[in-house]
Structure 1
Amino acid sequence: MRITTKKGALGGLALLGAAALLAGCAAAPEESGDGGGEAASDFLPCMVSDSGGFDDKSFNQLGAEGLDKAAAELGVTPIKVESQAETDFASNLQSLVDQNCNAIVTVGFLLAPAALESATANPDIDYISVDDMVDTDFDGTTDAPNIKPIIFDTAQAAFLAGYLSAGVSEAGKVGTFGGMNIPTVSIFMDGFAQGVDFYNQENGTAVQVIGWDRAAQDGSFTGGFEANDGARQLAQGIIDQGVDVLLPVGGPIYQSAAVAIRDSGRQIALIGVDADVFETDPSVGDLLLTSILKGIDVGVHEAVVEAGNGNFDPTPFIGTLENEGVGLADFHDWADRVPADLADKVTALADKIKSGEVEVESYLAG
């Protein structure tokens, strides 16, 4: 099932085509063949991480990779600041302002309030907000004209992962848990549960989802984004309920889930999020059924290059299956255990979501 894209091997279902990533509200950007020349010579791009850190093998790392690629293309050296807690956000942003950054990327939903305050106070700096619209008054528009949101309707790809998981589950139970009950986490969990429900409707089955209640819009959460013993214990509790597929949502907490899976001695499939975790963390590769992808790296790269070349565009980008901003990774080591007819159904389902024949609910759905 492996199909590669122009910018790398990002998906067995070819649902994440990096060349078209920023097709959201405008035409997809062209590949740039130059480094920006003099236009970017004094340009300083910067980034603030969420508390997961730049080595989380997930969304912070993807953001950093996108920044580094853009900086290399522009011929400049970026500045990256890592947050240890939410209390670091405002001071980290101010430190970048004080260092005369021209563009600042904030990685993560929780950074949005601090990003808005900083952007409002510094209208001449371009801000790129990953995972939030920065719409605090909920009027449908970003609250500052110098902020570009890069967000992802990951419920669509998670729907496919839920359908796939229900199809490979022999126990009739699949599980999920998250770091915190915030929209950018719960969107994965809810989309996953919708996909399981759809599988049950189509196939007359009764696969259960442990760890997320769609009616209550609540479930199992660690309370943070650290791979620690608390996350392992939460994963263990879900595993003890008999699941044979597990979706942890929250940066490095998948590492705690992997420990719990290995400790169980059972064959339990792990699902990664944001990056293709098989590629970013081979140590858990044998456990991975697939990963739910967000093109954060490509989105950040394109936005920073535009800013560096004097073409900053604050128009929001919303990644979907249709514009290839979200998708599923290859099945890798699990490929032989996914029936061909199930894989075909997942591909067909993706087409139905793109066309609107199958609707996936989320806070980003139009």
Structure 2
Amino acid sequence: MKITTRKTALSGLAALGVAALFAGCASAPSDSGNASGAPVASDFVPCMVSDSGGFDDKSFNQLGLEGLTAAADTLGVKPVSVQSNSDADFAPNISNLVDQNCNLIVTVGFNLAAATKEAAAANPKTNFAIIDDNSIVSDNVKPIVFDTAQAAFLAGYASASYSKTGVVGTYGGMQIPPVTIFMDGFADGVAYFNQAKGKDVKVIGWDVKSQNGVFTGSFQAGTESKQAAQGLIDQNADVILACGGPIFLSAAEAIRDSGKPISMIGVDADLFETDAQNKDLFLTSIMKGMKPGVESVTVDAAAGKFNSTPFVGTLANDGVGIAPFHDFDSKVDPALQGELDKIKADIIAGTITVESPSSPK
């Protein structure tokens, strides 16, 4: 087992944004018009383009829009959002927002990288931010990325501790870095539990060494996702991590249909809080601070403080984390939370280091 990583410095954005990760709210606006105290042009237009999962995915698109909306409320301006129904919508949707004279266009997801890069090059006076991609090097593009392997490591450890069958499983939507980073951290966290406890909890659905696993091919809930979850259930997994926006909804269906005591690990948001129908299934969730990240980038841009330095969310700056156990609190090992607190502190200190090939560079 190889578990290595690097530490990421906290950017100026992080200092503004990550404090709101678990609080979920922005600072009150100042008399001068916004939380930063800097004057904001009344005609500032913040905009956003979703990935194909849509803004009601209870996950990364929804969190991104919540961040944009919160910033717009703080600034006293009106946001504009455009939903993509397929990959073919990305470029036209961005072009549409450019034509509407948006000052900041936030694109949600790795899949929008090519369209964002092209639009940014063609419109150097427009500022862009992109969630889950840092491949674009341009003065007018700010990456908002997250080292979710660190938080997923904690969730993997918790899953291994909780599992009664000794089998936990994971599958993804598309095999892209923002998805596989969750799976790497999860599997490494299970491996760390096995090493620490002398156990042999098995991970199915993803192999860290070969970087091969189970994927549905999209971020859509439906037959493919339900079948992937059922495949894990058939192999005796009793904790399932579904990575890829709303695909977790199909995993929940498969679990309900099975009638078995199977729990889930959510991603992006605390799905106990965002998905009332399935809240009883979530052992915990691996959270990314997309809402505060987008909110802070937007407020900065409105105040004339936009820059292209990437924001990288980590455990150290609270840009990533895991949700409380909620209804599972009385069901987990009483020692588990203390163990997780120690592991988190060791990751932050560098005593335990966590790396995924997909970790932000």
User: Which TM-score applies when normalising by structure 2?
Assistant: 0.91
State yes or no: 1:66 paired with 2:62.
no
Aligned-pair CA distance for 1:346: 1.0
Deviations 1:248-298 (A, max 9, x none): 000000100000011111111111000011111111100000000000000
Decide whether the 8 Å contact of 1:227 with 1:255 is kept in 2.
yes
Aligned match of 1:181 in 163, 175, 179? 175
Deviations 1:141-176 (A, max 9, x none): x42110111100000000000000000101000000
Work out the CA distance in 2 between the residues paired with 1:29 and 1:226: 33
- Which residue in 1 is equivalent to 2:321? 327
Decide whether the 8 Å contact of 1:40 with 1:75 is kept in 2.
no
Give the secondary structure class of the aligned counterpart of 1:196. Answer: helix
Higher deviation after alignment, 315-324 or 22-31: 22-31
Give the secondary structure class of the aligned counterpart of 2:16. Answer: coil
Aligned-pair CA distance for 1:33: 2.9
Give the secondary structure class of the aligned counterpart of 1:40. Answer: coil
- Which residue in 1 is equivalent to 2:280? 286
- Which residue in 2 is equivalent to 1:258? 252
Work out the CA distance in 2 between the residues paired with 1:60 and 1:355: 32
Give the secondary structure class of the aligned counterpart of 1:251. Answer: coil
State yes or no: 1:33 paired with 2:29.
yes
Aligned-pair CA distance for 1:68: 0.3
- Which residue in 1 is equivalent to 2:186? 192
- Which residue in 1 is equivalent to 2:21? none
- Which residue in 1 is equivalent to 2:232? 238
Work out the CA distance in 1 between the residues paired with 2:272 and 2:45: 33
Give the secondary structure class of the aligned counterpart of 2:240. Answer: strand
Deviations 1:304-351 (A, max 9, x none): 011111111221110000111000001111111111211211111011
Give the secondary structure class of the aligned counterpart of 2:175. Answer: coil
- Which residue in 1 is equivalent to 2:267? 273
Decide whether the 8 Å contact of 1:103 with 1:125 is kept in 2.
yes
Note the aligned Cα RMSD (angstroms).
1.5
Q: How does 1:128-207 map to 2 (within 5 A)?
A: 128-133=129-134, 135=135, 142-207=136-201
Give the secondary structure class of the aligned counterpart of 1:340. Answer: coil
For 1:230, the aligned partner's letter is E
For 1:85, the aligned partner's letter is S
Give the secondary structure class of the aligned counterpart of 1:92. Answer: helix
For 2:145, the aligned partner's letter is I
Aligned-pair CA distance for 1:29: 2.2
- Which residue in 2 is equivalent to 1:119? 120
Decide whether the 8 Å contact of 1:40 with 1:74 is kept in 2.
no
For 1:180, the aligned partner's letter is M
Work out the CA distance in 1 between the residues paired with 2:9 and 2:28: 16
Deviations 1:218-257 (A, max 9, x none): 1000000011122111101111100110000000001000
Give the secondary structure class of the aligned counterpart of 1:116. Answer: helix
Q: How does 1:343-358 map to 2 (within 5 A)?
A: 343-358=337-352
- Which residue in 2 is equivalent to 1:100? 101
Decide whether the 8 Å contact of 1:291 with 1:329 is kept in 2.
yes
State yes or no: 1:314 paired with 2:300.
no
Say if 1:45 and 1:255 are closer, same or farther in 2 by CA, change over 3 A. Answer: same
Decide whether the 8 Å contact of 1:45 with 1:103 is kept in 2.
yes
Work out the CA distance in 2 between the residues paired with 1:300 and 1:365: 17
Work out the CA distance in 2 between the residues paired with 1:340 and 1:234: 32
Give the secondary structure class of the aligned counterpart of 1:28. Answer: helix
For 2:275, the aligned partner's letter is D
Work out the CA distance in 2 between the residues paired with 1:316 and 1:178: 25
Work out the CA distance in 2 between the residues paired with 1:95 and 1:32: 32
- Which residue in 2 is equivalent to 1:24? 10
- Which residue in 2 is equivalent to 1:304? 298
Decide whether the 8 Å contact of 1:23 with 1:317 is kept in 2.
no
Structure 1 runs of 4+ with >4 Å offset: none
State yes or no: 1:212 paired with 2:206.
yes
Give the secondary structure class of the aligned counterpart of 1:188. Answer: helix
Say if 1:23 and 1:307 are closer, same or farther in 2 by CA, change over 3 A. Answer: farther
- Which residue in 2 is equivalent to 1:82? 83
- Which residue in 2 is equivalent to 1:19? none
Unaligned 5+ runs, structure 2: 1-7, 18-26
User: Which TM-score applies when normalising by structure 1?
Assistant: 0.90
Aligned-pair CA distance for 1:40: 2.7
Give the secondary structure class of the aligned counterpart of 1:118. Answer: helix
